């Protein structure tokens, strides 16, 4: 089964046990059938895109989203990110606002967040696929078990990673992370429905950089 997963070798090694479990076999088959029978996002070549940019040892920050955008032409395989020609999604608009507020300068408004990923930010959705027009439609397929295993493996085998957990869903992942080895930052979600309840002013981007610098890791250029 591992040979069929289009993921770089370092990630395959980290997650080897997961690929061999029955749930992952069932997940793979179910998702494969969905792509054949329905309209599903992101494009199948981008399901594991978040893992193609940096190896596990290079991950410095994890930002957890819930599932890919379910509107055609939007999901690109990275949480909160979309193709550069697209309109900036509302939550990402608020992320940019917070970055500008924290650093006091205008930030790059390109909605393609590959520039964060190349610096070691793992933009991880809890589900890695979704049916067109149906939010969370693949949430019960087994993706959450798989992505929980990713968070746990990063926590156990690496150190000094900043986990940004926005919203109640992401906040529940705190139990998977060893807070003695990593920094966990929680706040409301950047969605327009909740950003004013504590996402704005959370200083997460500044705090993440301070932690990385303190532990000898290169800071992220969020701007």
Alpha-carbon 100 to chain mean position: 21
Identify the active-site residue in 6, 67, 76, 112. Answer: 67
Catalytic residue status for 67: yes
Tell me which residue of 217, 141, 140, 138 sits closest to 183, measured CA to CA: 217
86-98 burial string, b = 16+ CB within 10 Å, else e?
Answer: beebebbebbbeb
Tell me which residue of 144, 165, 173, 145 sits closest to 62, measured CA to CA: 165
Report yes or no: 94 and 190 within 8 Å, Cβ to Cβ: yes
Report yes or no: 168 and 196 within 8 Å, Cβ to Cβ: no
Q: How far apart are CA 97 and CA 109, in angstroms?
A: 10
Q: Which residue has the tokens 């999604």?
A: 89
Q: Which residues are marked as active site?
A: 67
């Amino acid at each position: 089964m591992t040979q069929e997963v289009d993921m770089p070798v370092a990630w395959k090694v980290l997650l080897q046990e997961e690929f061999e479990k029955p749930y992952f076999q069932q997940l793979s088959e179910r998702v494969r059938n969905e792509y054949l029978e329905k309209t599903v996002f992101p494009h199948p070549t981008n399901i594991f895109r978040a893992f193609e940019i940096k190896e596990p040892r290079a991950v410095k920050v994890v930002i957890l989203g819930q599932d890919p955008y379910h509107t055609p032409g939007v999901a690109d395989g990275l949480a909160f990110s979309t193709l550069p020609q697209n309109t900036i999604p509302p939550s990402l608009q608020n992320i940019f606002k917070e970055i500008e507020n924290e650093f006091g300068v205008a930030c790059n408004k390109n909605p393609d967040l590959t520039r964060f990923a190349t610096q070691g930010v793992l933009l991880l959705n809890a589900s890695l696929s979704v049916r067109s027009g149906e939010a969370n439609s693949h949430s019960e397929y087994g993706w959450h078990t798989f992505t929980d295993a990713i968070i746990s493996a990063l926590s156990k085998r690496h150190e000094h990673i900043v986990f940004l957990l926005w919203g109640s869903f992401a906040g529940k992942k705190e139990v998977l992370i060893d807070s003695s080895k990593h920094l966990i930052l929680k706040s409301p979600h950047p969605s327009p429905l909740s950003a004013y309840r504590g996402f704005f002013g959370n200083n997460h981007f500044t705090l993440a950089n301070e932690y990385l610098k303190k532990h000898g890791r290169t800071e992220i250029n969020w701007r």
